[in-house]
Structure 1
Amino acid sequence: MNINATLILQAIVFLILVWFTMRFVWPPITKALDERAQKIADGLAAADKAKAELANANKAVGEQLAQAAGETTKLLGDAEKRAAQIVEEAKKRAEEEGAKIVAAAKAEADQQVTRAREVLREQVAALAVKGAEQILHKEVNASVHADLLARLKTEL
């Protein structure tokens, strides 16, 4: 055979191989490559979507933390105000109770002073009667002279 005939025959076999490859081998390979590219694109889109959702979730968590911190601050402020009110109320009650105790003590002291004066008057009256007995050298009857003794008590 001749170089030309071999060359032509090899060209024909090559063309048949190219046609066979293009017809039966190439379509499944391109289909597999396209499917793989689609899966990769879907995975990247899902990753982007998850990244956006994570950013939104982080933003929502930050907002909730800020809101919780604000509420906590408000609750602490309210608690401090309430504690101050309770302390003020306790001080008022203590002052009122102290005033009542002082008033009761003053009233009791006044009563004791009055009782002491009464006892002292009776003792002075008894001493006056004893003194009058000794001056007169006779017994003064308290029941007979009750009016005189009552007047003496009131004068003292």
Structure 2
Amino acid sequence: MELLTPNLGYFVWALVAFIVVFLILKKFAWKPILKSLNDREQNIANAIASAEKVKAEMAQMQSENEALLAKAREERAQLLKEARETKEKIINEAKEQAKAEAAKIIADAQQAINAQKMAALTDVKNEVGKLVIEVSEKVLRKELSEQNKQEEHINGLVESIKLN
């Protein structure tokens, strides 16, 4: 049982050794250990604060990015709308221009047809006039003594002209 109950001398020397080690540690080691622990605690607190700040900035940046994305979508929609309007305007202008050109071509063609018609009528009138002159010339050149023969000759000429 002696092993379980220490001797008073050992106990005192152990207590003195403990106090000496404790005082030496307190004087030389305790302050640097506490200082390093405080520094570490401060660094961890700063890191947490920095992380919170970065997290807040990220949230702000995300909201700004979403706003920019919404604005970009709105601008894209506006550009597409303007492009559609421009396309329809160009198509309508091209249709109107094509209609105007078609109307002009038709008018020009009608003028050309009328000019050719008038030229053909003029040619026909000139030919009729020439024929009348030729018939009159033939009648005048032929000397007929009787009135009946003259009339028969004129009627024959008129019928030959009608057949042509």
Superposition TM-score tier, normalisation by shorter sequence: 0.7 to 0.9
Q: What CA distance in whole angstroms lies between the structure 2 residues aligned with 1:100 and 1:82?
A: 26
Q: Which residue is 2:97 aligned to? A: 93
1:20 Cα offset (Å): 2.3
Give the gaps of 5 or more residues in structure 2. Answer: 1-6, 144-164
2:81 to 77, 84, 100: 77
2:127 to 123, 127, 140: 123
The structure that has the greater radius of gyration is: 2
Q: What CA distance in whole angstroms lies between the structure 2 residues aligned with 1:86 and 1:9?
A: 108
1:32 aligns with 2:36: yes
Higher relative CO (Cα under 8 Å, sequence separation at least 6) belongs to 1
Give the gaps of 5 or more residues in structure 1. Answer: 140-156
2:71 to 67, 70, 77: 67
**Structure 2 residue identity aligned to 1:85:** K
1:107 Cα offset (Å): 1.3
**Structure 2 residue identity aligned to 1:21:** L
Percent identity between the aligned chains? 32
1:37-71 deviation per Cα after TM superposition (whole angstroms, max 9, x unaligned): 11112112212221221222122112111111110
1:8-51 deviation per Cα after TM superposition (whole angstroms, max 9, x unaligned): 23322322222222232211111111111111121122122212
Q: Which residue is 1:154 aligned to? A: none
What is the aligned length?
A: 137
Provide the aligned C-alpha RMSD in A.
1.8
Q: What CA distance in whole angstroms lies between the structure 2 residues aligned with 1:125 and 1:119?
A: 10
1:138 Cα offset (Å): 4.1
TM-score, normalised via structure 1 length: 0.79
Q: What CA distance in whole angstroms lies between the structure 2 residues aligned with 1:11 and 1:113?
A: 144
Q: What CA distance in whole angstroms lies between the structure 1 residues aligned with 2:142 and 2:65?
A: 110
Q: Which residue is 2:54 aligned to? A: 50
Q: Which residue is 2:112 aligned to? A: 108
